[in-house]
Structure 1
Amino acid sequence: MSKEKIVLAYSGGLDTSVILAWLKEKYDAEIIAFTADIGQKDELDGLEEKALKTGASKVYIDDLREEFARDFIYPMFQSGALYEGQYLLGTSIARPLIAKRMVEIARMEGATAIAHGATGKGNDQVRFELTAAALAPEVKVIAPWRIEEFREQFPGRAEMIAYAEAHGIPVKASAAKPYSMDRNLLHISFESGMLEDPWFDASAATNRDMYVLSVSPEEAPDEAEYLELEFEQGNCTALNGSRMSPLEVMERLNELGGKHGIGRVDMVENRFVGMKSRGVYETPGGTILFSAHRMMESLTMDREVMHLRDSLISRYSALVYNGFWFSPERQALQALVTESQKNVTGTVRVKLYKGNVIAAGVKSPVSLYNPDIATMEADPSKAYDQSDATGFIHLNALRLKVLAGVEHNAK
């Protein structure tokens, strides 16, 4: 009989390398290692060879960067999603794509299970497993960090290093950086280690070596740089007149944002599993795109449509953060978002300067801004009669006057 097959989300680090060997040993199974290329750059170097040496029977390293930008980042940015007012959801939005591809590979390979290295305290376990439940409920999920036997065998990093050495797993056993890092096309996140102290100043000059995508605002150029972003139905399609794919837009915006120290966030957030955690994020390109998109909407979106969409931002952001990307409610919200974006077309000009994205102009062939109506001078269009405001104010004041009278009589 052929062995059971398990598809493992594999990064090549100590945890997933040990998990690969442990799964193979415990379940007497074929382990198919899967790595999604979603913009990790040189972190992917040598992964296939390492996975095979560790015991994988097959390795998939799939370039999902364009799909990530087009089908995940762009739709999310159309919604204006911002978790707890600060986080642009860089890690959150990547997990459903990774899990989606994992279950696709599992079906192609006839695997009965998928496995991941997310811990039992984090959000990623939820994101991976909710995606699997939505797309392939018949596929079993193995989460080693939630298995008592695994935790007892590996209570700390030293035990994992010893296991790797004993099993000939090619993992560097040097001292770890005092934090963990996760990178993709949209951002880099840093957490744990020294960052678990919320009083620790990650922006201090002595800690600047931690950052990868951006210089500090203090070290950014002293001269501002102008950038024009063209939008079509809420999606950025060109930079400075050059038409680009979503992937090309994100890569170029990351370069420009990083150069000018844009997109650093340091926050304490509320995890879905119940605890607070401190995270430091670099999202240079996403910060520019988020700001420019909002500027474009300000000119082209109907007021009530904008306010309705904005009232759903918190809900949409929580759905992404909590792992419900493939839920029917997120898809329903996305339909509303897509409809809201049909006239978000035009050009935004921004000025990039020392960590800031500064508005420098916006124009659109479908602009809802009419200078003849908005002018403080005489209105040549005669579209607005200022005396009409008297009745408008009286009607809106009526309930306030009635309430004030009731409260006065009650005294």
Structure 2
Amino acid sequence: MASNKNTVRKVALAYSGGLDTSVILKWLQDTYNCEVVTFTADIGQGEELDHVRPKAKALGVKEIFIDDLREEFVRDFVFPMFRANAIYEGEYLLGTSIARPLIAKRLMEIAAATGCDAIAHGATGKGNDQVRFELGAYHFNPNIKVIAPWREWDLTSRETLLAYAAKHKIPITKKKGGGSPYSMDANALHISYEGGGLEDPWWVPDDSIWRWTKNPEDAPATPEYITLKFEKGDVVAINGKRMKPYKVLATLNELGGKHGIGRLDIVENRYVGMKSRGCYETPGGTILLKAHRAIESITLDREQAHLKDELMPKYASLIYNGYWFSPERRALQALIDDTQQKVNGEVRLKLYKGNVYNAGRRSKDSLFDARVATFEDDKGAYNQKDAEGFIRLNALRLRTGAKRDRR
């Protein structure tokens, strides 16, 4: 093991500046006797990143990358996923899952550009993120060495991490108010909470856990109506104002949070085999999903829509399990994107006390034909007598089976 460690000269570390990755940075320097390059991604987590550079510098890092990836994240990862209406296990909108491939992609670009022969991350050996980061890394460089300290060291708790930081004089930024008792992860799509009391699936957290959304009981008593404009399956304007993807999502987060929309408390099945409980806030994503299904309801052919719904659980699992760069995900994406060519138009929504309601949809590419669907006189647009033969043909196998069973 020691000889293997001696072969590592330079490591690119996915670095947040928090306790875990600050300890990892020093641990890499000491354990592998190597140079460390740090990479911090701004993907809309809403945290100040000013502390990252001085902390990395204090530990002797010479190459420090802090990249604003917010627009790329929403445009190239979140929006393509929402074209598929992806939900994992019926509820989870994949907020953490969809961020990992972008971080892995940029980390590998930096590793290549700075001559690193290894990368490192702070994901634990119990979670999904280790899989997501590493599958993404191997896509870009099949021979890259991956260092996952949580699978190597003997620092097994927050207390041991703090002791290590104190011993090595690692600067740790204390959060205001003592920080959160939960493990939190945020980006432009969502914020998640795990650990602490949430490890008891019967325990109900108090309302202080939620940071982005109002308690629906305290949300405005007056509904708010908004109109979203879609072009090829993506929202391009809110209430008539055109916006870039990140601004769209940020605006929907603000609107959804105001009305208490997007709270979730679930137990999910991790890829590594265990069950995990988490609470999530995805206000903008909840609105976006409702609106996208509404515009698809009038613009997608029936069999297109049904095929998408059949494929969606597979697509969602691929993202959850870390296979964003896999050939099967790319193949599904090509099919999904092809279905979106006529998904254009407007959707009106009502936001009210934790809920999103459809309040109208219209499109120049609509397949909805009121002349055919009407309960009034359709003036010959539809011959109701045609239904008799249709029913008899579809009933043929059922009638044949029924006759056999009566013999």
Same fold (TM over 0.5): yes
Q: Matched residue of 2:381: which SS? A: coil
| Structure 2 partner of 1:312 | 311
Give the residue type in structure 2 aligned to 1:227: I
Q: 1:45: Cα distance to partner? A: 3.3
Matches within 5 A, 1:5-404: 5-147=10-152, 150=153, 152=154, 154-172=155-173, 177-202=180-205, 207-380=206-379, 382-404=380-402
Q: Secondary structure at the match of 1:39?
A: coil
Matched positions, count: 400
Q: CA deviation at 1:235?
A: 0.5
Q: What letter is aligned with 1:400? A: L
CA deviation profile, 1:279-325 (whole Å, cap 9, x unmatched)? 11000001101100000000100001111111100000000000000
Q: Report the Cα offset of residue 55 of structure 1.
A: 3.5
Q: How many angstroms apart in 1 are the aligned matches of 2:325 and 2:289?
A: 23
* Distance in 2, Cα, partners of 1:402 & 1:55: 80
- Whole-Å separation in 2 of the counterparts to 1:173 and 1:370: 60
Q: Per the alignment, in what secondary structure is the counterpart of residue 7 of structure 1? A: strand
TM-score, structure 1 as length reference: 0.95
- The answer to whether the 8 Å contact 2:8/2:32 transfers is no
Q: Distance in 1 between matches of 2:166 and 2:39?
A: 23
CA displacement at 1:157 relative to structure 2:
1.7
Residues 20 and 56, structure 1, Cα contact 8 Å, conserved in 2: no
Amino acid at match of 1:263: G
Residue segments in structure 1 that go unaligned for 5+ positions in a row: none
Displacement of 1:251 after TM fit? 0.7
Please identify, of 366-375 and 132-141, the stretch whose mean Cα deviation from structure 2 is larger.
132-141
Q: Matches of 1:286 and 1:200 in 2, distance apart?
A: 26
Tell me the secondary structure at the aligned position of residue 342 of structure 1: helix
CA contact (8 A) 1:324 1:330 kept: yes
Identity among equivalent positions (%) equals 59
CA contact (8 A) 1:24 1:55 kept: no
Q: d(CA) in 1 for partners of 2:52 and 2:234? A: 34
Alpha-carbon distance between aligned partners in 1 of 2:21 and 2:269, rounded to the nearest angstrom: 26
- TM-score w.r.t. length of structure 2: 0.96
- Asked if the contact 1:20–1:55 (Cα under 8 Å) also holds between the matched residues in 2, the reply is no
Structure 1 stretches of at least 4 aligned residues deviating more than 6 Å after TM superposition: none
Which residue type is aligned with residue 406 of structure 1? Answer: R
- The one-letter code of the counterpart of 1:185 is A
Write the distance in 1 (CA, Å) between the matches of 2:269 and 2:74.
26
Tell me the amino acid that sits aligned with residue 81 of structure 1. A
Alpha-carbon separation, structure 1, partners of 2:403 and 2:199: 54
Partners of 1:227 and 1:345 in 2: CA distance: 17
Aligned equivalents of 1:173 and 1:66: distance in 2? 29
Unaligned runs of 5+ in 2: 1-6
SS class of match (2:16): coil
- For 2:403, which of 386, 395, 405 is the aligned residue? 405
Question: Shift of the alpha carbon at 1:107?
Answer: 0.3
**C-alpha offsets along residues 150-200 of structure 1, whole Å, 9 cap, x if unaligned?**
1x2x13222211111111111146866321100000000101111011111
- C-alpha offsets along residues 353-401 of structure 1, whole Å, 9 cap, x if unaligned? 0011111110001110010110011112x23100110111111111111
- Aligned 8 A contact 1:81 1:88 in 2: yes
The 8 Å contact of residues 5 and 111 in structure 1, kept in 2 or not, is answered as yes
Query: Which residue identity does 1:82 align to in structure 2?
Result: I
Task: State the distance in 2 between where 1:268 and 1:49 align.
Answer: 38
Question: Separation in 2 of the partners of 1:385 and 1:259?
Answer: 49
SS in 2 for 1:121: coil
- What RMSD in Å do the two structures reach over aligned CA positions? 1.5
State the 1:3 CA deviation: 7.8
SS at match of 1:190: strand
